[in-house]
Structure 1
Amino acid sequence: MKILDRYILTTYLKTFLSVFIILMFIFVLQTIWLYISELAGKDLDVWIVLKFLWYVSPRLIPLVLPLTVLVTSLMVFGSFAEKYEFAAMKSTGISLQRSMRALMVFIAMLSITAFFFANNVIPYSEYKWQNLRRNIAQTKPSMVVTEGQFNQIDNFNIKVAKKSGDQDQFLDNVVIHKKNNDKPNGNYTVIIADTGELASEEGSNTLSLILNDGNYYEDVQVKDIKDQKREPFAKSEFKEYTINIDLTELNNADFDKDNNYNNENMYTTGELVVELDSLSGSYNADVKSFSNNMYFRSGISKFGTHHTSLDRKEIDTDTINTILDIFNTSEKVRILDLAINNSRGTIQSVEAKKRDFFVKSKRLNKFEIAFHEKYVLGVACIILFFVGAPLGAIIRKGGMGLPMVVAVLLFLTYHFIGIFAKNSAEDGTMHPFIATWLSTAIMFPLSIWLTYRATTDQGIVDIDSFLQRIGKLFKKKEEKEG
């Protein structure tokens, strides 16, 4: 390796590592902020918190790595241009492409590494992270009671308007829906209290919920239809009422326990191909089965079976009127009512199945998006390098100022285009392949154009040439008028 290549590569690697560490630290802090409610107040060991951050870090790489490449390329090449190092290189016959040769090899190796990382490391870390989140959520359920929403603990759904106290143990406006195992069809017991308190001894597996000044409502289930219409219920008042909740299973949470989680981010490319084939086959079979079922349910097949002279697909109104003429008026009314009810039932079935098919197609689209994202990560690093490097040489500004602003704006544009496209793909309005590669495809011609402009020593916009063309247009207009 020549001295020039070693110098450029060393400068780039130093900046790359610094930017990567800074950006990773920022995104990890953002992750802590997002999941602080799941970690805070649960008396977790430092080791468990560190393990949580360790497992969540790999899923940040698809955001951090492309941004790092873009920022580093802008900073390094902007610094070279600002210090006239590129001018010195060009004076000795070294072009911009030649100066980028060692870095192109590094970026190619980085892209290949990024693919294998996304294909092997991220799925494993995603699986471990989701399981750790679930296991953490099972600890200290007294801290899981969130204000303004129902929280399920054991056989109770608890909602509180406000919490107070040094440990949030005092509750205001408590509403509890109690589940009854003997009556699985609904929650027939509701408890409402003005205030409450959570109490539990250290090391105890029992959580005591002490309620004050409330009412106890319970719907009375009767078999007689007349009595059911009266909607009987029992009501009682209490000054103090204590509910003991068994926390044995929850407090014995195993942080290393593997639950049966399954989502698209936990698969490698090989596994995604198999899963996509299985999901698409199942989806197509369901659609075909439902369409056949609705066809036979319509009764059209019977016309084709018993009356060969009638076309199965075309039954005109004259045929229907001829059949109805056989019956008297009351029978016609019953037949038409039956037909209307059957039509309504068919419409309801179609609407329900439509929602079911939408959920299945959305899941299928997510798996296809996850498959392409593993390849996009590596390609994005290459494309963004050829955007950042020539752009840095053009703007001729190094450091953390202007290059960082330009890099963030470019990356936000790239990232938000990808997000909007993927959301459209999940809903089925855009093909998953197009949605996943759209933002990269938009940056590709930009990288070619910027590389050409930097190679030919042109700015982003040639103001002088633009003004000269405008001036020529005005001169031609004046000559024609004269």
Structure 2
Amino acid sequence: MKKIDKLIVRSFLPPLVIWTLVAMFIFNMQFLWKYIDDIIGKGLDLSIIFELLFYQSLAMIPRAMVFGVLIASVMTLGNLAEHYELVTMKSTGMSLFRVMSPLIFFAFVLAGVSFLFSDQLIPVTALKFKSTLYDIRKQKPALSFREGQFNDDFRKVSIFVDKKDPGGKILKGLKIYDHTTTVGYKGQTNAESGGLFYARDTMATTIKVTVQDSTINKDTTIIRSFLVVKLKNGTRYDEMEPDPQKPNAYPHVEMNFDSYTTLYDMSEFEFNETNEDLFKGHYSLLTTRQLLRAIDSLYKKREERYKMLKRNSDAMFHFRREGLAESALDTMKIVPPRHAKYYYPPTVAHAPKISLDTSVKHFYECIPVSKRDYIYQRASGFCQNIKGQANGVAKYCGTNERIHTEHENEIHQKFSFALACLLFLFIGAPMGAIIRKGGFGWPILVAFIFFMLFFVLFLVGERLATSLSIPCWIGSWLPNLVLLPFGLMLTHKALYDSRFINVDKILNLFRWIKGLFRRT
């Protein structure tokens, strides 16, 4: 590698890394803004939140890399043009493509890395991300007691707290309603005060795991958490089961206590990991090979439904005499074409004369009156049956085609984001050479406009493709197809040092229009 190539690559790498990280940070902030209500207030450890953000960051690398390439290319060529280094290179006979050659090679490498991330790494991280987010969203909020309010976080148990100390450990004026067994409440406990603390119970157990028709005993440990409520100076009321022989009697038990302890299971408030196998079938978690196999499977299932509908309709509406075709084949003789005229002399067929009954105006009148209702009901039943099957097949095939489109769209997007790195190089580098600015002003503004246009077109194309409004390949490649003319135009302008906007022509156009108004 020549010194000039090293200079360009060294100027390109720092802004590429920095702005890729900035884009990842922006995408993470967007994610937090979207799911903040599902995360806060659940007592999650910071490690779980950072783990979720880590998976999200890895999934955003291809998109962030596109933004980084765009800004880095604008700033690199803009700096060279601003300090007249680009002019010096061109004066020695170097073309713009020669100056960009190390960046073009590097963009191809980034495109390959982006595709490998999208195809191999992101399905793994996205699986972790989806399962972790699902666990967070299904977890109950952290347990909290408010003064003068009922707490219904526990299943079928309501706890009322009149007052509590600043630390939240000592509660006063407690009322606990137990709804666990019968309609209404089974028991009620009133206490002057109570204390809260948490306890854990560890239990060793053995579970049986079946693997390929063989059973294996596996030792495991189950940890359960409990909320221990220690009540003081109160009364407990319990309803008893009524006696069937005394329907008007409602027995109950009243118990006064100085100290009473009760336990509540806290397992539903803990963070439990879901089995990741539940999410593995989603199209966004598959590699390209897995997507192609899934697409082939979806196509075969759709064709099987069409064939099944055709077989059912043929069986109901195409009546054939059994054995007729087979018996005809048994009587056929294979004769050479040149001898056919001796075996089968030409004959002229005469159609028999049939007298038509002109009084019949409809086929329905040809059916005997005694059988009309039966034939009508049978035909109506056939039609309703076929209509129901056709509607079911149409609904299934519509869903199948939508899922098929989502799988194809995912494949196209892997390649689309990879080639967008190369496309944005041919947008950013010529733009930097034209505007001749490499700082944090114009380069960032121009790059931000093009990236926003790319991202909006990506979302629009994805929505149109998944709604089957346009072919999925058009929806996936829509941002690249729209921005490709901009890249070609900017590269042409920068290659031949032509002005991007000819101000003189615009002024002459306005003068000509002004002259037309004066003449009139």
Superposed pair shares fold, TM > 0.5: yes
Q: Deviations over 1:405-439 (max 9, x none)?
A: 22222122222222222222222232222222222
> Who is 1:104 aligned against?
104
> Who is 1:26 aligned against?
26
Q: Retained in 1: the 8 A contact 2:19–2:67?
A: no
Asked if 1:431 is matched to 2:471, the reply is: yes
Asked if 1:80 is matched to 2:94, the reply is: no
Q: Equivalents in 2 of 1:62, 1:129: separation in Å?
A: 16
Helix, strand or coil: the match of 1:57?
Answer: helix
| One-letter code aligned to 1:266 | L
Q: Equivalents in 2 of 1:442, 1:304: separation in Å?
A: 61
Q: Retained in 1: the 8 A contact 2:70–2:424?
A: yes
Query: In the TM superposition, what are the counterparts of 1:10-21 in structure 2 within 5 Å?
Result: 10-21=10-21
Q: Deviations over 1:261-305 (max 9, x none)?
A: 121111111222222212211222122223332443xx3212787
| One-letter code aligned to 2:139 | T
CA gap 1:28/1:385 in 2 versus in 1, 3 angstroms: same
CA gap 1:252/1:23 in 2 versus in 1, 3 angstroms: closer
Helix, strand or coil: the match of 1:302?
Answer: coil
> Who is 1:124 aligned against?
124
Q: Retained in 2: the 8 A contact 1:205–1:251?
A: no
Shift of 1:455: 0.8
> Who is 1:159 aligned against?
none
Structure 1 unaligned residues grouped into runs of 5+: 144-152, 157-164, 168-177, 181-188, 192-199, 209-243, 309-317
Q: Equivalents in 2 of 1:456, 1:137: separation in Å?
A: 57
| One-letter code aligned to 2:427 | V
Identity %: 26
Helix, strand or coil: the match of 2:319?
Answer: helix
> Who is 1:270 aligned against?
289
Query: In the TM superposition, what are the counterparts of 1:62-77 in structure 2 within 5 Å?
Result: 62-77=62-77
Asked if 1:389 is matched to 2:429, the reply is: yes
Structure of higher CA gyration radius? 2
Q: Retained in 1: the 8 A contact 2:437–2:443?
A: yes
Query: In the TM superposition, what are the counterparts of 1:124-143 in structure 2 within 5 Å?
Result: 124-140=124-140
Q: Deviations over 1:169-202 (max 9, x none)?
A: xxxxxxxxx9x9xxxxxxxx999xxxxxxxx974
Asked if 1:420 is matched to 2:439, the reply is: no
| One-letter code aligned to 1:18 | I
> Who is 1:93 aligned against?
93
Query: In the TM superposition, what are the counterparts of 1:243-392 in structure 2 within 5 Å?
Result: 248=267, 250-251=268-269, 253-255=271-273, 257-261=275-279, 262-296=281-315, 299-302=316-319, 321-322=362-363, 324-328=365-369, 332=372, 335-336=375-376, 339-340=379-380, 343-344=383-384, 346-392=386-432
> Who is 1:171 aligned against?
none
Q: Retained in 1: the 8 A contact 2:62–2:418?
A: no
Q: Deviations over 1:20-51 (max 9, x none)?
A: 12221121122122222232122111111111
Shift of 1:382: 0.2
> Who is 1:449 aligned against?
489
CA gap 1:326/1:21 in 2 versus in 1, 3 angstroms: closer
Instruction: Output the TM-score relative to the length of structure 1.
Output: 0.69
Q: Equivalents in 2 of 1:141, 1:287: separation in Å?
A: 49
CA gap 1:288/1:460 in 2 versus in 1, 3 angstroms: farther
CA gap 1:52/1:98 in 2 versus in 1, 3 angstroms: same
CA gap 1:25/1:336 in 2 versus in 1, 3 angstroms: same
Helix, strand or coil: the match of 2:469?
Answer: coil
Q: Retained in 2: the 8 A contact 1:136–1:255?
A: no
Q: Equivalents in 2 of 1:260, 1:115: separation in Å?
A: 26
Query: In the TM superposition, what are the counterparts of 1:122-271 in structure 2 within 5 Å?
Result: 122-140=122-140, 202=198, 248=267, 250-251=268-269, 253-255=271-273, 257-261=275-279, 262-271=281-290
Q: Equivalents in 1 of 2:4, 2:142: separation in Å?
A: 63
Q: How many residues align?
A: 390
Q: Equivalents in 1 of 2:514, 2:129: separation in Å?
A: 66
